[in-house]
Amino acid sequence: MNVDQKRLEEFMHRAVVDLGAAASAALVLLGDRLGLYKALAEGPATPAELSRRTGCAERYLREWLGNQAAGGYVTLDAARGEYSLTPEQAMALAQEDSPVFLPGAFQLLQAMWRAEPRMEENFRNGDGIPWTEQDRSLFEGTERFFKPGYAAHIVDEWIPALSGMEEKLRRGAKVADVGCGHGASTVIMAKAYPNSSFTGFDYHPASIETARRRAEAAGVDDRTCFVVAPATEFSGDGYDLVAHFDCLHDLPDPLGAARRAREALAKDGSWMIVEPFAGDSVAENLNPVGRVFYAASTMFCVPNALAFHGAALGAQAGEKRIGEVVREAGFGNFRRATQTPFNLVFEARAG
């Protein structure tokens, strides 16, 4: 076997970078849970000062800070022996309402590691893991990871991109949020459109209970309702808007869910499908975003569908495959309404 030394060195460099990132993920979780990032956002601190602010042991903080500075997650002033967060680092690590808040994504990594022993066996036998049987860090991480993006885009960009939907919601519309999880998307819409009514559906009872608490805390429980139901059997009809946020590809029966969405819509209603950004081929998705989504698809999305012997579209299904499902369900119109670097937003209408 002939080995190109330069290519080997390049590969090993990538691997070491990945190893450092993977090894640091647990430390990001600790920084989030212990309030270390938020404490650093208050101003520069030595390890001793950060210990006083947080009540954490200084000796551990010295190692944690060294790791975080080496990875570029905190900034070291070597002359002063102080660590701090730049405004950009604080936006990503300490500000929960920031559109680029990251710690929730690291909770998803935690869920992957906790699922790994079971997934090893699934690779051999083709079985799956229902969403309801994943670690709770998946549910918490999903909410914390997706909510900032939803807050930044749903009201200001995604709904205005749909055919006449913004005006309908302002006047008063009926909305079904299918696969709502902890209700982040439902609550965001309910706060923005007080004349409309919103029903969130999810087959995970614990998530529905959390969604009800979120709606009450946000003061929108008077116009929201949360119901335990699968995507193929959610109740009601005459909805002006049916929405599936980042979940159609997870479902065991996406075609059945599409048919139910069509049945549930009012004659001039719209189905909004928000999916992870993806091209139609693997070659188009060989980039950092695709790498993350393929990992999540392997550990969460495909296992949920296979647990019910479903279609398993996967998180990188792409526009062509989603369009095929939509048209097979009987929708006459399907289009890409808008997009972000992380999401594709589609609109489907009956005629």
Which pLDDT score, from 0 to 100, does residue 182 have? 98
At residue 197, what are phi and psi to the nearest 5 degrees?
Answer: -115, 145
CA distance 122 to 252: 16
CA dihedral 140, 141, 143, 147 (to 10 degrees): 150
CA distance 17 to 40: 25
E strand or H helix that includes residue 12: helix 5-33
Give the ranges where 126-249 is alpha helix by DSSP (H). Answer: 136-153, 165-171, 184-192, 205-218
Domain boundaries of the chain, sorted by first residue: 5-93, 103-349
Closest CA to 303 of 231, 251, 342: 251
Contacts of 210 (CB under 8 A, 6+ apart): 139, 143, 182, 183
CA distance 155 to 110: 30
SS3 3: coil
**Residue 16, Cβ neighbours under 10 Å: how many?**
10
Q: Which CATH number fits domain 103-349: 3.60.21.10, 3.40.50.1000, 3.40.50.150, 3.40.190.10?
A: 3.40.50.150
End-to-end CA distance of the chain: 60
CA distance 166 to 158: 9
Closest CA to 179 of 100, 111, 233: 233
Q: Locate the DSSP E strands across the chain.
A: 75-77, 82-84, 174-178, 197-202, 224-228, 239-245, 265-276, 333-339, 343-349
SS3 45: strand
Instruction: Tell me the whole-structure pTM to 2 decimals.
Output: 0.93
SS3 123: helix
CA distance 144 to 128: 25
Closest CA to 314 of 348, 351, 278, 289: 278
DSSP string computed for 158-177: IGGGSTTHHHHHHH--EEEE
Token digits of residue 45? 């601190």
At residue 244, what are phi and psi to the nearest 5 degrees?
Answer: -125, 105
E strand or H helix that includes residue 60: helix 58-70
Which pLDDT score, from 0 to 100, does residue 351 have? 75
Q: Are strands 265-276 and 239-245 parallel, antiparallel or unpaired?
A: parallel
Q: Which CATH number fits domain 5-93: 1.10.10.10, 3.30.460.80, 3.30.465.10, 3.40.50.1980?
A: 1.10.10.10
Give the pLDDT of the chain (351 residues) as one tens digit per residue. Answer: 889 999 999 999 999 999 999 999 999 999 999 999 999 999 999 999 999 999 999 999 999 999 999 999 999 999 999 999 999 999 999 999 899 999 999 999 999 999 999 999 999 999 999 999 999 999 999 999 999 999 999 999 999 999 999 999 999 999 999 999 999 999 999 999 999 999 999 999 999 999 999 999 999 999 999 999 999 999 999 999 999 999 999 999 999 999 999 999 999 999 999 999 999 999 999 999 999 999 999 999 999 999 999 999 999 999 999 999 999 999 999 999 999 999 999 999 997
